[in-house]
Chains A and B, each alone.
Chain A
């Protein structure tokens, strides 16, 4: 009993509970901003080095120059048009390649006949780097939209195909048996058991393919295009406009991040049931 009484009281913090609360609020805000810390620090260091003349502006523009290029290109409308063109190419490639990959993945996962018929061929094509097809694609399609669509579709196809196939094949056979016992078959079994079971894997494929989508598109636009972000960067290089070249890189980074964040958002929304996506709030 006396032990407790003899313990020294904790020294009160100056300012009392209000200040401590404020401190906690600030630290929680800081924790939220933590991922931004490194990019901001790099930009600040970069700008400082440029201003001090440590980095030659002809080879690497200062962040403020890039910002100015962004402003000029936005005002002239050039940037908006190019982003729209690139985004449209990317999305149509994702749609075409993704749909084919998804459908073939499902078909080959469900039917062993379809799997035996097509899988070997697809795996052989997969080993060819799709950018190695560029010379052939230019001969076939010239530098028109078809070339870009073909290349991005092909690039997007494989991650979605492989992961959909894997997802369907790894659906718990006990759940499928349960579904059959309870009278499900065909479409119902697919909708209630197989597709939701494969969905986490399909999302992994989608996020992989988003990366490949931008990569393929950038290369295709740099080599053979008359519009788009890649074309903008490439023509800026001819006039030594390094600020525009760097601007294009920044835009690519932002678009890539946006695509990934969208996929994550969809993942979170559709996979609420998954323990990995559950908020522990509910008991």
Chain B
């Protein structure tokens, strides 16, 4: 092993290295072997391909939105078309990309391996989950090509039930079905983590990625059904004329808001928690230290999940809810900042005096920490009752949740994909190109969304495609940033695709990481382990890894 301090990457000698003869990718051949697979790793790949498709579809809508906003006049698309663009951007990005992003791809692939199991508890339900996701996706696409939907991603009543003549029912059915995909993924994770851990893998020896996904699974299982029922009621109201949300029949539209946000606020944590899990793994590996305050970080995931259920009304402060309940929900909202800060501070302490190296996943992790902190802090602005009245329904909100979801979650997703790419496919991505793309995304992201904070503060409302001319400079900056961001997202697809065939052979453990997934071959066997491991070490125990490596060298050599 070389004594260089700039990198910890340890690849096998490329002249002699070979890919494993047998792994989960070449175990069986043909399309059908993929479509009927029960292997969690193959299902993860299926999910990865599908969500990448939906990500770029949603990205095209985002591009069109930014293009329209380049000029103050409504000149590129008609008002109705613009409404459809931002609705479909939101629906696709949230339900078909962000919610399944880390759990269904990386979580599916890694959780069984990380806890020393051969598969998830219910492989067939796992496959069913992918089919439900695809059915939901196809229905959403159907709504798209048959005329679109323009409710916004929130399906707000009575707009969605009475005043629109677009494909609300089709889109809602799509989301309803995709919701069950999410429920099944969460259910599978919870049962697997409870019942399938290898001998010695106690709760507090699990990697923090598993903890984070466990917390997100609780939210998926408890929250998603409530979304499902509120969408069912919207559909019934449109088709059969039921009146649960209809004031003329005695119903209350605000009830829809309560039910919808009871899921959709926790959904934010469904999206961000697995990303936080990725960051824990990456930070530990590239600073060669156990995560500072492991227990606190583990419990902060669960705390975020728990608090997440008691803050939903902060989406409704201006909708005529009682002042007293608004006060309580504002305080509870502030409470979420505590576990989030616990994570950020503990990651910072992990970095302190660590042997930090700057590989691509680490660059993404740094981007996450900075951008998520900005996103989280601006969330505190919005949770404050007085500020919220000024800022709500403006571009400030748009900037806030993009900082959390794109700056936070998407950076974590990309970091995770780079980090585990060698494990998933056995080959390395090109390092300098990927660093370039990480930096490009970071610059492009800030250029896109930083001006939107200012725009929102100055009073530019969201969801309009025309604006006063004095806002144009900031909007042009934002659109320019979106172009840079687009390049930053397109690059990984190209070079990751290239690396599948031409990348350097990674070997079992290119990062010298401690997780169980790094102790097996890459790409793994279908059964993951030839022999179920017996776990005797804590997570992130680098001494254990050093001893083990030394031992291997002496016995083999």
Q: Do A and B bind each other?
A: no
